[in-house]
Amino acid sequence: MDQSFKVQKIPLLTTAIGLLWLKTYIVYKTSFDIKIENWRQEFILFINPLSFLLLIFGVALFIGRRRNQFILAVSFLLSFILFANIVFFRFFNDFLTLPVLFQASNMSDLGSSVHELLNWTDLLYFLDFFLLLAMVHYWPDLLQENQPYPKATRRFYYLTAFAVTFFSLGISEAERPQLLTRTFDREILVKNIGTYHYHVYDLILQTKSSAQRALADGSKLVDIENYVHSKQTEPAESLFGRYKGKNVIYVSMESLQAFPIGAKMNGQEVTPFLNDFIEESYYFNHFYHQTGQGKTSDAEFITENSLYPIGRGAVYFTNSQNTFRATPEILKDEGYYSAVFHANDRTFWNRDIIYENFGYDEFFDVASYTVNNDNSVNWGLKDIDFFNQSMPMLKSLPEPFFAKFITLTNHFPFTLDEEDMMIDLYDSDSKTLNRYFPAVRYMDEALKLFVEDLKKSGLYDRTVIVLYGDHYGISENHNAEMARYLGKEITPFESTQLQRVPLIIHLPGQKEGKTLSNVSGQIDLRPTVMHLLGIDTTNHIQLGTDLFSPNRMNMAILRDGSFITDEYVYTKETCYSKMTGSPIETNACEPYAEKAKMELDYSDRIIYGDLLRFYE
């Protein structure tokens, strides 16, 4: 028998790289909704994980005795990063950023939401790591010994790694010029440079943004001031100052999109109260949410500051100590007392800090309410109980007041107790969409009872009431089921249209409603309310315009760089006709695209540079 035959041993290093490369590509195709338009993009998507994996695992070439432990540690860490993005993407249809990770203090409150997003089959995402672990601990004889690699081998390895990296970046830049300037479009970044390089780039951006404040000075406000003044329009003469000295109530309607308004499900009205309330109020049916990763907190920030949220993380966390000139502070100069009502922990989304910074006089948090198992569900106190318990506190406020209510019940995963189900579950393959309609119906009932209480207390006729949806409730991950409900394909055009949220403004004494089809967004709410109260906003740094102004430009810019006008919708690098919903020549959208990019950039400069500290 030939005794010279030897079993070829397996190198753990290349095995780990190969398995993680394959797993990452499979995740791209199965767990992320990454749009691929041609074979070049598919090839880029396939190859982009490899360059990072070669670079990071290559450190093992310089390690001797503990090489295997290093490879296992890196494999687990990268698998965990990939899995964290998978879970985040399941609900937010977005990728993690470093600022979001800094918001880990929120995790203790996420509870049922996180549980809903996890499944025992998720262990399969770590299958390659478990295989490597078994090889090291149970089949070490199969592995090559941890001998030092020759210098020539290390040199060749890293020349190959850098060659793959530059090749990957080169073809990505050729496919998508100015790739690294599109930091607001994380899908494009991940598609072209990969998940792992994207997180490295995100770290660089975080460092850069942190340095912006230190390097900022007042001169950086000049261009922004000029732009703001160029946008300003005259308010409607018939409404300016007409409600001076009246109370103002904002209600942030959790996860309420516009599509349930006026709709029926199984023959039952989803929002019977809001449908009636619109008949005696102003209703804006082309009003878009403009939130980013901060969701509800972003909606609060936008509506009270008339600035866009940041593209990475949430202003409430990353820039809570900035100088702002928010609605409560402005109204304080007009003699208003301001308060927030929210039956959640005061530290959630850093609200205890940011509300003080915004100038609120009082914050009624969960400690102000009686919360128990009977009156709470999902994220906490049920909306009906929330409004009921809030009324005595609201009536105790000195007038005029500015009060904001943040609802909770219509929050993912949209669970309800049986006794609160006022309409049946929808029947589809999406549990989330099925539960959404009853949760919306419950919130609608809570709002009805709240408005009835306002009428009984006498506050109704001396209060401007603003009801707005804060952000989407049904993400793009449920497009197939949404298509069935709406009876049409959910294209990127339709998906952008689904970012509409309701805005209802009821004015004291108003008996007859009117639906306005102004294309607008949450950024326009503050100047609108200020003008109703007779407050001159000429010298305010704000990017929104009065919704009642006859000369305003109808345009809504979304945080991801998409925008909507009277004629066009631009999203996913495609220009659509608003009338037909079909793609058209991109040059039709180019003038607006430049405006959208500039406006988002100006807002980012204000926030990252804390520029309002220089403004008088």
- Return d(Cα 221, Cα 612) in angstroms, integer: 8
| pLDDT score of 458 more than 50 | yes
Residue 605: its pLDDT value, please?
A: 93
Residue 549: its pLDDT value, please?
A: 95
* Domain coordinates in residue numbering, the chain: 12-212, 220-614
Instruction: Give, as one character, the DSSP assignment of residue 143.
Output: B
**97: its two tokens:** 């950023």
Nearest to 410 by CA among 434, 442, 381: 442
Residues listed for the chain: 616
| pLDDT score of 162 more than 50 | yes
Mean pLDDT of all residues in 387-412: 96
Mean pLDDT of all residues in 582-587: 94
Quote the pTM value: 0.79
pLDDT in tens, 559-568: 999 999 999 9
Point out the least confidently predicted range of 221-225, 442-446, 529-533: 221-225
Residue 2: its pLDDT value, please?
A: 47
pLDDT in tens, 211-225: 777 778 888 899 999
Query: Mapping DSSP to helix (H, G, I), strand (E, B) and coil, where does residue 192 land?
Result: helix
Residue 5: its pLDDT value, please?
A: 43
Give the H or E element holding residue 454. Answer: helix 431-457
Tell me which range, 78-87, 170-179, 191-200, is most confidently predicted by mean pLDDT.
78-87
Topology (CATH) of 220-614: Alkaline Phosphatase, subunit A (3.40.720)
- 222 versus 63: the higher-pLDDT residue is 222
Residue 220: its pLDDT value, please?
A: 83
Residue 280: its pLDDT value, please?
A: 97
**Bridge partner list, 340:** 363, 404
| pLDDT score of 398 more than 60 | yes
| Banded pLDDT at 101 (limits 50, 70, 90) | low
Mean pLDDT of all residues in 32-61: 86
| Banded pLDDT at 345 (limits 50, 70, 90) | confident
b/e per residue 171-188 (b: at least 16 CB within 10 A): bbeebbeebeebbbbbbb
Taking the mean position of all CA atoms in its chain, how far away is CA 485?
24
Say how many CA atoms lie within 13 Å of 156 toward its Cβ.
5
In angstroms, the Cα distances linking 528 to 181, 280, 288, 506, 583 are: 33, 18, 15, 13, 33
Residue 298: its pLDDT value, please?
A: 95
Tell me which range, 37-46, 129-138, 194-203, 298-307, is most confidently predicted by mean pLDDT.
298-307
Q: Give residue for tokens 């949404």.
A: 482
Residue 4: its pLDDT value, please?
A: 46
Percent of the chain residues topping a pLDDT of 90: 60
Q: Which residues are identified as catalytic? A: 296
Mean pLDDT computed over every residue of the chain: 89
**Bridge partner list, 557:** 563
Say how many CA atoms lie within 13 Å of 98 toward its Cβ.
15
pLDDT in tens, 236-273: 999 999 999 999 999 999 999 999 999 998 889 999 99
| pLDDT score of 1 more than 70 | no
Tell me which range, 31-45, 110-124, 313-327, 465-479, is most confidently predicted by mean pLDDT.
465-479
Residue 197: its pLDDT value, please?
A: 85
In angstroms, the Cα distances linking 478 to 448, 471, 490 are: 29, 16, 10
| pLDDT score of 55 more than 80 | yes
Mean pLDDT of all residues in 70-88: 90
| pLDDT score of 445 more than 50 | yes
| Banded pLDDT at 13 (limits 50, 70, 90) | confident
Mean pLDDT of all residues in 87-98: 75
Residue 589: its pLDDT value, please?
A: 96
| pLDDT score of 513 more than 90 | yes
Residue 115: its pLDDT value, please?
A: 60
Query: Mapping DSSP to helix (H, G, I), strand (E, B) and coil, where does residue 489 land?
Result: coil
**95: its two tokens:** 């990728």
Point out the least confidently predicted range of 105-119, 257-271, 335-349, 447-461: 105-119
Mean pLDDT of all residues in 184-213: 77
Mean pLDDT of all residues in 516-541: 96
Mean pLDDT of all residues in 39-48: 88
Residue 181: its pLDDT value, please?
A: 59
Residue 40: its pLDDT value, please?
A: 85
Residue 148: its pLDDT value, please?
A: 73
Phi then psi dihedrals of residue 282, to 5 deg:
-85, 130
Residue 312: its pLDDT value, please?
A: 80
Percent of the chain residues topping a pLDDT of 70: 91
